[in-house]
Amino acid sequence: MIPVVTPDEMRAIDASASAPVARLIERAGAAVARSAIDLLGGTYGRTVTVLAGSGNNGADGREAATRLRQRGVRVRVLDAASLPDELPQSDLFIDAAYGTGFRPDPSRPWAPPRTDGAPVLAVDIPSGVDGLTGVAVPGALPADRTVTFQALKPGLLFGDGPALAGDVEVVDIGLDTSHIRCHLVERVDACEWWPVRADRAHKWHAALKVVAGSNAMPGAAELCTAAALRAGSGLVSLSAPGCRPSTRSEVVQHPIASSGYSADVLGDIARFGALVIGPGLGRDDGTLQAARCCLTDAPVPVVVDGDAIFAVAQVGDGAGGWLTGRSHPTILTPHDGEFAVLTGDPPGDDRLAAVRAAATRFGSVILVKGPTTVIAAPADAPDEQGSVLIVDHGDRRLATAGSGDVLAGMIGAVLAAGVEPMRAAAAAAWVHAECARSGVGAGLVAGDLIDLLPAAIAGLRHQGVRE
């Protein structure tokens, strides 16, 4: 995992560093110079222009300039506060104008200069991008590569940041981030967390109960249960109100009434490792009340998706305490619209803060889907922040109907195998994204993700982390 540090946290880490500031600047400047030479493809005859601000970001750029001169590169250093209308011709521009402390200010717009197609190397974050949210000013300077120090910054992962940062390189300059509770999930983490079925496992290994589907939306149950089977559940039992929506012969099906079904669903729940409830259930009063009863009484970990999120939201201000009282873990999986229904507001620009607050309020792990998925756990104490895992592996191909139903089934399968909730949600989100990346380009649909799951899981095994 790669630590993710907000600008305020980074300032505190800098202030508490054992090494003097000058030494940290030397290390940062050296890393920028190395990356610049790599982008240039050498030093002979090369010209570099450094746009340097007044803070530490500018100091890093000036240190890089010194080191590049020592290697024979022709270097110009320009003051970011008084740039000319036309920049000199260069083989590379180093953007050290503003660091992670930049905040968009409409009254003082920053107009980045034209680089006429020459590559740009950003120091810590592209100038004009908010280091906390990724929100960029109009015309912010796009980079081909960004060298950032010790940890990723949220602004590189959210909003406009990913599109403007180019390739991101995280460089260790000797700062302590061991206390940080927010991390980006990498392939190696998904490998480590994905469950491996034991040699002597039987069909009840990672057995999953699913309450999903309705006459109006049978496909949600079909996608959720098929994904759970492909993700490793040895047995998937579907309780579908008023219908029999799955065409898969492997799914054990128990049609139930559209209301008052809690006793039917939970009668054999002790045999299952987890419960998924919500995809395609519908929102009539009887259905919502029955979903709440199942969630309240289930003595197993539960994934709450789709219409069951709406059922939770209808409890009102008491929903947080109601979920906190559950005896087993709960994972809520809203998209932005469902998050707004659940909490009263959309996540906003500062997604980390919003999801952390919601996780603590509801006493549950909350996974908020999006271009960059955020998974947050409740805080242990009022003055603390809960742990966060971030998955940025997906892309626009996951923005398709039914994709969330597939993810819910995957999370349920991993959770039923005994994986800790945060890791179960994060590993499933990462593999879910990997399926999209390994699939076709335009035209990917949710059902394709299920067909791609076995190969994606096999790809994890081939990394040599888990056998």
- Average pLDDT of 375-390? 88
Contact 148, 125 (CB under 8 A): yes
Query: 3-class secondary structure for 377-407?
Result: CCCCCCCCCCCEEEECCCCHHHCCCCHHHHH
In terms of Cα–Cα distance, which of 89, 165, 174 is closest to 123? Answer: 165
Who's near 179: CB < 8 A, 6+ residues apart?
none
3-state secondary structure of 332: strand
How does pLDDT run across 104-127, given as a tens digit for each residue? 555 555 566 677 789 999 999 999
How does pLDDT run across 415-439, given as a tens digit for each residue? 999 999 999 999 999 999 999 888 6
> Cα–Cα distance between 215 and 245 in angstroms, integer?
8
User: Residue 400 burial by CB count (10 A; 0-12/13-18/19+): exposed, middle or buried?
Assistant: middle
How does pLDDT run across 435-461, given as a tens digit for each residue? 988 866 678 899 989 999 999 999 887
pLDDT of residue 467: 36
CATH number of the structural domain 187-461: 3.40.1190.20
As a whole number, the mean pLDDT across the chain is: 89
Who's near 343: CB < 8 A, 6+ residues apart?
354, 358, 361
Q: Is the pLDDT of residue 196 over 90?
A: no
pLDDT of residue 54: 85
Which strands, in side-by-side order, build the sheet including 145-149?
Answer: 74-79, 47-52, 92-96, 120-123, 145-149, 167-171
> Cα–Cα distance between 158 and 183 in angstroms, integer?
14
When pLDDT is cut at 50, 70 and 90, the band that residue 328 belongs to is: very high
- DSSP string of 172-218? --S---TT--EEE--HHHHHHHS----TT--TTTT-EEEE---SS-H
Contact 309, 404 (CB under 8 A): no
Helices 421-438 and 446-461, packing angle to 10 deg: 110
More confident residue, 330 or 248: 330
pTM of the model: 0.92
Positive/negative CA dihedral, 262, 264, 267, 272: negative
Q: Is the pLDDT of residue 101 over 70?
A: yes
The DSSP call for residue 151 is S
Could you identify the residue written with the tokens 């002979």? 44
Q: Is the pLDDT of residue 250 over 50?
A: yes
How does pLDDT run across 387-406, given as a tens digit for each residue? 999 999 988 888 888 999 99
List the beta strands (DSSP E) in 285-347: 302-304, 330-332
When pLDDT is cut at 50, 70 and 90, the band that residue 320 belongs to is: low
Instruction: Give the rounded percent of residues in the chain with a pLDDT score beyond 70.
Output: 93
Contact 452, 414 (CB under 8 A): no
How far lies 427's CA from each of 91, 131, 298, 402, 416, in Å? 41, 26, 24, 19, 13
- Average pLDDT of 7-14? 92
Q: Is the pLDDT of residue 201 over 90?
A: no
Other CB atoms within 10 Å distance of the CB of residue 152: 23
Domain 2-180: CATH class, spelled out: alpha beta
Listed by start position, the domains of the chain span 2-180, 187-461
Strands 365-368 and 252-256 come out as unpaired
Q: Is the pLDDT of residue 330 over 50?
A: yes
When pLDDT is cut at 50, 70 and 90, the band that residue 466 belongs to is: very low
User: How open is the CA angle 259-295-293, to the nearest 5 degrees?
Assistant: 40
Q: Is the pLDDT of residue 169 over 60?
A: yes
When pLDDT is cut at 50, 70 and 90, the band that residue 384 belongs to is: confident
In terms of Cα–Cα distance, which of 233, 260, 296 is closest to 424? Answer: 233
pLDDT of residue 464: 45
How does pLDDT run across 333-349, given as a tens digit for each residue? 999 999 999 999 999 99
Q: Which amino acid is at 15?
A: A
pLDDT of residue 116: 76
Q: What is the CA radius of gyration of the chain?
A: 25
